[in-house]
């Protein structure tokens, strides 16, 4: 609660069953404008519809019938400010954002610093970074490079440190124009 007695923004969340959502998701806009963090629970929503739900302001999607523990984990993540999406959707979403990256104008300083730091990557780290920039998952990168997912994660940790980026999304957006 805030000093005025209103719920704090992070405490405002709703789980919405897909059956009550309009086909165009239009009835969600008033809820998201009020600051509600919405988790949609649906059945076999296509990826495009899940992405559109994020665009209109929802914080996540999960399938109806999901284990209660997983639903609780989704709620907890959203309350912390994270987005909850099916794992298989993440590479596509990163790929879409990476394609939009020219619209996101990075300053010359960030670009020059990033370019300089690229020289510190090993050949394998460059391969991993490039594949991540294409929106591939750790599992797919591991398979294509014939290494374990654990090794991919180790490479990513090293890449994040060397390039001074915080996460996959930031790396994907920056790497798209540089490798």
pLDDT, tens digit (0-9, with 9 covering 90-100), for 88-113: 888 888 777 766 655 444 444 556 67
pLDDT at 22: 75
Level-2 CATH architecture, domain 9-85:
3-Layer(aba) Sandwich (3.40)
Against a cut of 0.75, is the pTM above it? no
Distance between CA atoms of residues 162 and 119, nearest Å: 9
121 conformational bin, left if phi > 0, alpha if psi -120 to 50, beta if neither: beta
What letter does residue 12 receive in the DSSP assignment? -
Level-2 CATH architecture, domain 94-175:
Orthogonal Bundle (1.10)
Contact predicate 70/95, CB 8 Å: no
Indicate whether 18 pLDDT > 50.
Answer: yes
Contact predicate 41/53, CB 8 Å: no
Indicate whether 1 pLDDT > 50.
Answer: no
pLDDT digits (tens, 9 = 90+) for 35-55: 788 899 999 888 888 888 887
Location of each CATH 3.40.50.2300 domain in the chain: 9-85
What letter does residue 148 receive in the DSSP assignment? -
Distance between CA atoms of residues 49 and 29, nearest Å: 15
Indicate whether 65 pLDDT > 70.
Answer: yes
Distance between CA atoms of residues 40 and 8, nearest Å: 21
Two tokens at 123? 């050949």
Location of each CATH 1.10.10.10 domain in the chain: 94-175
Distance between CA atoms of residues 178 and 163, nearest Å: 12
Buried b (16+ CB within 10 A) or exposed e, 44-63: ebeeebbbebbeebbbbbbe
């Amino acid at each position: 609660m805030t000093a005025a007695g209103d719920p704090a923004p992070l405490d405002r969340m709703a789980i919405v069953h897909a059956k009550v959502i309009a086909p165009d998701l239009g009835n969600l806009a008033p809820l998201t404008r009020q600051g509600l963090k919405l988790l949609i629970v649906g059945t076999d929503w296509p990826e495009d519809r899940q992405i559109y739900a994020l665009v209109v302001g929802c914080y996540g999607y999960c399938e109806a019938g999901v284990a209660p523990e997983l639903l609780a984990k989704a709620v907890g993540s959203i309350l912390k400010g994270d987005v909850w999406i099916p794992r298989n959707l993440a590479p596509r979403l990163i790929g879409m954002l990476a394609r939009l990256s020219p619209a996101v104008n990075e300053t010359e300083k960030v670009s020059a610093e990033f370019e300089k730091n690229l020289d510190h990557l090993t050949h394998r780290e460059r391969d991993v970074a490039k594949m991540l920039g294409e929106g591939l998952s750790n599992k797919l990168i591991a398979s294509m490079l014939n290494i374990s997912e654990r090794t991919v994660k180790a490479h990513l940790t090293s890449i994040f440190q060397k390039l001074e980026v915080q996460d996959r999304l930031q790396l994907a957006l920056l790497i798209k124009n540089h490798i």
